[in-house]
């Protein structure tokens, strides 16, 4: 999971440290990315770079909504 988070951070110009805290840029960008995917946005400009199981994990967390 940490490696996937590092890839996501790197692909999106964030510090690729594998750390995500509540309200930090990584969390905000991940939330925005997941919202775009859930809304069915085609050709999203953000690259998730995480496995489907990790994305599902974050989508199911109530604090991400």
Q: What does the pLDDT look like over 27-55, one tens digit per residue?
A: 999 999 888 877 775 444 445 555 555 66
Residue 26 has a pLDDT of 94
Residue spans per domain, the chain:
2-64
Residue 34 has a pLDDT of 87
pLDDT at 25 over 90: yes
The position carrying tokens 């400009």 is: 45
Q: Compute the distance between CA of residue 36 and CA of residue 60 in angstroms, rounded to an integer.
A: 15
pTM: 0.58
């Amino acid at each position: 999971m940490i490696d996937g988070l590092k890839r996501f951070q790197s692909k999106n110009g964030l510090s690729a440290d594998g750390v995500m805290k509540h309200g930090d840029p990584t969390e905000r960008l991940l939330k925005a990315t997941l919202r775009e995917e859930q809304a069915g946005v085609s050709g999203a400009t953000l690259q998730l770079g995480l496995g489907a199981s990790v994305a599902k994990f974050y989508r199911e967390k109530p604090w991400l909504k």
